[in-house]
Each structure stands twice: as structure tokens, then as C-alpha cells.
């Protein structure tokens, strides 16, 4: 197929996307020609397009590289890729109008439209995400989900050198600011030309809905404040989360904690994460119910989960928001030194917060409140309630919202490292990392390992380690002393 035919086919898809009309075809074809460094269009025809947008994109990028329009480094490729895909993406006003039109019929139809658009225009990196290694593991808490994250490519030396020499600017302020919508990108900042945001009004404030480029689960979305301000967990947080699941009842939504160590990777911009996914924690049962003083219409209970989780349930979202705020305020000042739970240290620093998750089940609202404590000690300088040293060979990074709910996001180093562990278990020549040896030796003693089962044995063992990671992050441990201390706290409520 000639490059001219590729250009015409791609523009046909662009017109089908709803942002352009047939009258725009010549204009768009010439615009795309310029983007890939071509000067003329040869014979081609408008026809039914059978190839998808990503396959056509690869051919257009290859032509741009051949024409030396861009250097062969990821940043320049990504910038041009987003500019090409921007032609396939209607303007923000049109995307929002379509979303509103579909929403009037059904919220699911609206998100289906926006999600598919974000996949078709490659804002959601579907091919990269497909590289992730994903497997389930059965634990004492039910099935948890393990992901070894391979979707974000590692930077090559040329890319690192280009970033080092790039001019530093303070725009957009961060990756979650609305100023990213349509931003070309730089060598040291991701391209966002094909990025779109659905505007939302949450109790009089302007917020935006977008999808995550490197999604970790089904329809992984981000709801972000228009204002660039730090994250804060308070009653307004609970009210917004419950409002979001009222507006999008087929989605769950939650917030990272707002303190270092136990918080997420971006604490500088107020935002939440949601999506159309049933997380393992959502189906975990309540193992101990209790009454919440002053909230007779709210059911409360401790969830059977490796971390310390209180679930509140009510048909009344306002009651639920007030009840969640009550629990938060009590937790923020609660100390039980017998289990190393300290609300405030001598230097006046507050150490307690909550990771909240909201969902709507039929006509009933639920909100899970995961108790967090970011204290450190001489024994655990990384965090008392953080993965302890003996499990850091698998996971040493912070435990954020997604992992709290039972979906592990493990580092890409584990793919080659676990392959070497498998060789070690089979007594084959290997280059096992030293920090995996003690763990691997225990597996040898516990399991009969063969070439047929070694991968499954290692994956199951990784899942069990992650369950332990979550237990480490739990403020009230899953033993008699810890659970008695947990009930002591709930009794105080």
C-alpha cells in the first residue's frame, strides 16, 4: 500500500470519529502529509478502511523516520504520534458534547464512547499495556491480582541525554493539570496532543474525567481537580467520591492517602482514581460488625482483609459522608502504643490518615476506609506499616490505592529476575539476584518443583509475598493481639 493510500485511509477514520466532515478531507490529508514530511499525494481512493488506527499509525511513523523528520528516540516519536492521533480526536468541546448526549441515554454508553475514543487514538497505550504480566493468586483473603508492570518503556541512553539537555519549564505544573489537554510535549515531558478531558461539576467545583494512559485495570480513569492544589482527605473528599459513584454508578472510585510513605506518587494535585473493575477487596466479607455512634442508618464493620479496613454502608450518601468523616477524625487522633499506633509524634507531626474507596451496589452506597499510619522507627526506617525488608525483594515501593484494593503493581525488574529464580529452582545455570536466594531456598524445601510447574510455583509464591506486603501495611495486624486492638478502636467509635 502506498503512503498516499495510508494517509487517505487514516483521514477516513478521522472523519468517522465525529470531529470532522467530508468537506475537511483535503485539508486533513495535507495536514497529515506535512506531519510525516511528505510533499505530494499520488493516486489513491476513498474506500472502506479495514485496518485499525494503530496499524496505520505505525506506517505513518515509519515514513516520518525515513524522511528524517524526527530522530529515532522515544520522546520525538511520542510527540509526533500524539500529533497524528490528534487528527483522529474531536476537539474537547465536541468530545464533551458527545459525552453529554450519550450520558442522557445511559452513563455506561457515555463512558463506553470516551473509553473507546481514548483507545482508538492511542491515548490509552493498549499495545504497551498488553505486555504486562498478569496472574491471580489464591490467599487467605480470597483471590488477589498480580501485575508485573512492563507497559512503560525504559529510557535508552539517547533519550536520557536529550532530556538532560532539554530546557526546564514550569508548564504544565504537573501531569494531572488540565493544561495538559492538547499539549505538544517536550523531550522531558510527555506528549498530550491527543488528550481529552470530560468536564464535571462536583458540588460547585470544576473537575475533569480522563483515562490513564498506562491503565492497570478495566477503564482505569482519573478524576482531577481543575485547581492545582495538594491532595487532602476530609469530608469534602468523601462527599465527592460518593457523588462520583452516583453520577457514574458502574464505576468505583477511591483516593490515595494524603501523607508521604502511605500516599500515592502524586500528592501535589488533588485527584481520585476509578474504573469499571471489581477489586478483590470489594468482594471481601465483613467479619465483625459494630455500631457507629450517632449514625443509626449506617451499617459498619471490619473487613476480612490483610490491611485494616472499615466498611460503611448506607442508602443515604450524606449520612455516609458524615460517618466517614467521623471515623477519619477519630483515627487522626487515636493512639495505641501497644501496637505501635501513634497518631502524633513529639515534633507535632500528624501520622494518621485514610485511603477511602467508594462504590454503589444496586441502590446502596458503600465506602471502605483503609486506616493508614506513616510512622517510622529505628527497626523500620522505611515505614513501620510499609513492606518490611524481608519482602522488599519483591516489593519495596509505597502501597497506594490500587494495591490497597488487592491489585499488585510490581516493578519490571521482576520479569528477568523471576526467570532466573525458576532456573535456580530447577538447578540450572542461572544469575539469580542475591536478595532472592533465601526465598528461593524456602520454595525448594516446601515444594516439589518440575519444569512443568516451576512457573506456577513462582507466581503463587509472589502472590503470597504480596499478601504479606499488605499485612505489613496493615496498622492492626492479623493476629489475636492486633485484632483485639482493632476492635478496641471500633469500640471507641
pLDDT at 188 over 80: yes
Most distant CA pair in the chain, distance: 80
Percent of the chain with pLDDT over 90: 93
Model pLDDT, residue 265: 75
Model pLDDT, residue 168: 75
* CB 48, CB 124: distance < 8 Å: no
Angle between helices 3-16 and 25-36 (to 10 degrees): 130
Q: How confident is the model at residue 160 (pLDDT cuts 50, 70, 90)?
A: low
**Sheet (strand 286-290) strand order:** 198-202, 205-211, 221-225, 271-275, 252-254, 352-361, 364-373, 309-314, 299-303, 286-290
Model pLDDT, residue 163: 62
- 407-426: average pLDDT: 97
Q: How confident is the model at residue 266 (pLDDT cuts 50, 70, 90)?
A: confident
pLDDT at 437 over 60: yes
Go through the chain and tell me how many residues it has. 493
Model pLDDT, residue 169: 83
pLDDT at 335 over 60: yes
Model pLDDT, residue 269: 95
Model pLDDT, residue 263: 84
Model pLDDT, residue 449: 96
97 Cβ partners below 8 Å, 6+ apart?
Answer: none
Model pLDDT, residue 164: 66
Model pLDDT, residue 152: 73
pLDDT at 189 over 70: yes
- 280-308: average pLDDT: 97
Model pLDDT, residue 119: 96
> ω into residue 172 within 30 of 0, thus cis?
yes
Chain segment 46-96, per-residue pLDDT in tens? 999 999 999 999 999 999 999 999 999 999 999 999 999 999 999 999 999
CA distances, 462 to each of 224, 401, 425 (Å): 33, 20, 14
Model pLDDT, residue 154: 60
Model pLDDT, residue 203: 86
Mean pLDDT of the chain: 95
74 Cβ partners below 8 Å, 6+ apart?
Answer: 153, 155, 156, 159
Amino acid at each position: 500500500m502506498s503512503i498516499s493510500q495510508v494517509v487517505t485511509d487514516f483521514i477516513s477514520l478521522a472523519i468517522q470519529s465525529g470531529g470532522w466532515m467530508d468537506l475537511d478531507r483535503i485539508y486533513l490529508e495535507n495536514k497529515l502529509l506535512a506531519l510525516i514530511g511528505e510533499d505530494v499525494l499520488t493516486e489513491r481512493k476513498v474506500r472502506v478502511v479495514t485496518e485499525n488506527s494503530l496499524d496505520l499509525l505505525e506506517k505513518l511513523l515509519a515514513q516520518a523516520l525515513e524522511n528524517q523528520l524526527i530522530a529515532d528516540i522515544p520522546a520525538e516519536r511520542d510527540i509526533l504520534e500524539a500529533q497524528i492521533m490528534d487528527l483522529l480526536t474531536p476537539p474537547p468541546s465536541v468530545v464533551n458534547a458527545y459525552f453529554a448526549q450519550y450520558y442522557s441515554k445511559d452513563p455506561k454508553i457515555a463512558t463506553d464512547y470516551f473509553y473507546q475514543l481514548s483507545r482508538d487514538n492511542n491515548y490509552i497505550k493498549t499495545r504497551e499495556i498488553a505486555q504486562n504480566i498478569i496472574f491471580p493468586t489464591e490467599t487467605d483473603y480470597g483471590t488477589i491480582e498480580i501485575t508485573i508492570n512492563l507497559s512503560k518503556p525504559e529510557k535508552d541512553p539517547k533519550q536520557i541525554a536529550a532530556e538532560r539537555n532539554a530546557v526546564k519549564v514550569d508548564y504544565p505544573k504537573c501531569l494531572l493539570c488540565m493544561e495538559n489537554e492538547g499539549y505538544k510535549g517536550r523531550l522531558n515531558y510527555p506528549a498530550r496532543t491527543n488528550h481529552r478531558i470530560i468536564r464535571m461539576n462536583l458540588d460547585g467545583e470544576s473537575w475533569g474525567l480522563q483515562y490513564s494512559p498506562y491503565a492497570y485495570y478495566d477503564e482505569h480513569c482519573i478524576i482531577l481537580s481543575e485547581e492545582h492544589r495538594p491532595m487532602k482527605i476530609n469530608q469534602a473528599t468523601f462527599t465527592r467520591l460518593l457523588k462520583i459513584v452516583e453520577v457514574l454508578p458502574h464505576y468505583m472510585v477511591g483516593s490515595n492517602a494524603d501523607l508521604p510513605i502511605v500516599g500515592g506518587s502524586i500528592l501535589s494535585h488533588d485527584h481520585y482514581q476509578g474504573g469499571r473493575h471489581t477489586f478483590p477487596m470489594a468482594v471481601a466479607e465483613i467479619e465483625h460488625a459494630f455500631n457507629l455512634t450517632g449514625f443509626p442508618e449506617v451499617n459498619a464493620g471490619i473487613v476480612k482483609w490483610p490491611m485494616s479496613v472499615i466498611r460503611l454502608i448506607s442508602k443515604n450518601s450524606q449520612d455516609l459522608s458524615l460517618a466517614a468523616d467521623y471515623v477519619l477524625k477519630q483515627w487522626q487522633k487515636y493512639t495505641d502504643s501497644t501496637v505501635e499506633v501513634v497518631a502524633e509524634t513529639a515534633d507535632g507531626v500528624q501520622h494518621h490518615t485514610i485511603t477511602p474507596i467508594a462504590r454503589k451496589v444496586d441502590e446502596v452506597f458503600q465506602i471502605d476506609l483503609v486506616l493508614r499510619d506513616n510512622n517510622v522507627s529505628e527497626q523500620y526506617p522505611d515505614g513501620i506499616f510499609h513492606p518490611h525488608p524481608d519482602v522488599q525483594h519483591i516489593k519495596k515501593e509505597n502501597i497506594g490505592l490500587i494495591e490497597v484494593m488487592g491489585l499488585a503493581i510490581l516493578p519490571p525488574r521482576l520479569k528477568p529476575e523471576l526467570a532466573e529464580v525458576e532456573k535456580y529452582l530447577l538447578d540450572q545455570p542461572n544469575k539469580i539476584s542475591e536478595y532472592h536466594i533465601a526465598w528461593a531456598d524456602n520454595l525448594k524445601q516446601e515444594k516439589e518443583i518440575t519444569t512443568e510447574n516451576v512457573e506456577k510455583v513462582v507466581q503463587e509464591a509472589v502472590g503470597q509475598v504480596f499478601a504479606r506486603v499488605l499485612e505489613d501495611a496493615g496498622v492492626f495486624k492479623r493476629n489475636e493481639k492486633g485484632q483485639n486492638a482493632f476492635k478496641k478502636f471500633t469500640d471507641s467509635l
